[in-house]
Amino acid sequence: EGINPQEYTGIKMKVQQWADAAKEKLSSDLAGANVYFVAATLRPETMYGQTCCFVSPKITYGIFKMAEGEYVFVSDRAARNMAFQNIFADWGKVEKVGELSGANVIGTVVEAPLSVHGQVRILPMETVKASKGTGVVTCVPSDSPDDYATITELAKKPEYFKIQKEWAELEIVPIIHTPKYGDLVAKTLVEQMKINSPKDAKLADAKEEAYKEGFYHGTMVIGEYKGRPVQEVKDLLKQKLIDSGDAFNYAE
């Protein structure tokens, strides 16, 4: 990790319906509480295009108290950091009320703030790192090559991943237009670079190119800032999500 802190936006994705495997393991009082999967993102302006939310099937996550009746689903590491960032009501206190493997929450339905799809499923992503962010990644396949490669793989082999195919086939709508790659930067790059696996080493280059092109040359094609440059509206959209209670700042 570098010297400079990484400033993420933590997107609060409220559980609507737990997967059966999760329900069996949760205490009954938690089943009725507000639990949020918190996805760490550097691209809050793309949240219109969320089509699912990824966890690693290999990571064990915790459910931690944020405030009265409010809980977050994140990695242990992220919870320890959050306790010292005014995200939890009790400063410095980490109160873990449950523990679940990522594998147990696949299929859970969560709200996706700003997304045209409203609600999305929790799906598996094998390349999620436990050492970064919250261990929860919201999927925006229009603008993230990693997300596009993963969702494509999931839709190809639903039985292998133990999911329903349609969970991985929500429509990918254009969020940002760029002169070089059109309206679906990630899809275009993945296809042009012939990336056909979420583990392809070329994804590192695709990711950097998508980020630069989207940030420096992108224009919004959806939402209240439609027609305006990404550079101008990124912070405005982040603030909008924070003001509506759908996000918070999270640094590490």
Cβ 49 to ligand A2H shortest distance, Å: 7
Assign residue 182 a region (left: φ > 0; alpha: ψ between -120 and 50; beta: otherwise): left
Alpha carbon 39 to its chain centroid, in Å, reads: 4
Cβ 252 to ligand A2H shortest distance, Å: 9
Task: Report the residue number, 111 or 143, with the smaller CB distance to ligand A2H.
Answer: 143
Cβ 175 to ligand A2H shortest distance, Å: 8
Task: Report the residue number, 127 or 239, with the smaller CB distance to ligand A2H.
Answer: 127
The contacts of residue 227 (CB under 8 Å, 6+ apart) are: 219, 220, 221
Cβ 42 to ligand A2H shortest distance, Å: 4
Task: Report the residue number, 26 or 188, with the smaller CB distance to ligand A2H.
Answer: 188
* Contact (CB, 8 A) for 8 and 40: yes
Task: Report the residue number, 68 or 201, with the smaller CB distance to ligand A2H.
Answer: 201
- Provide the binding-site residues for ligand A2H, judged by CB under 6 A: 6, 40-43, 46, 128-129, 132-133, 135, 137-140, 143-144, 147, 207, 211
String of DSSP letters for 86-128: T-SSSTT---EEEEEEHHHHTT-EEE-TT-TTSEEEEEE-TT-
Cβ 29 to ligand A2H shortest distance, Å: 29
Task: Report the residue number, 20 or 208, with the smaller CB distance to ligand A2H.
Answer: 208
Task: Report the residue number, 144 or 178, with the smaller CB distance to ligand A2H.
Answer: 144
Residue nearest ligand A2H (C-beta atom): 133
CA–CA gap between residue 38 and residue 69 (Å, rounded):
16
CA–CA gap between residue 38 and residue 202 (Å, rounded):
28
Residue type at 34 in one-letter notation: N
Assign residue 231 a region (left: φ > 0; alpha: ψ between -120 and 50; beta: otherwise): alpha
Cβ 217 to ligand A2H shortest distance, Å: 15
Overall residue count recorded for the chain in this entry: 252
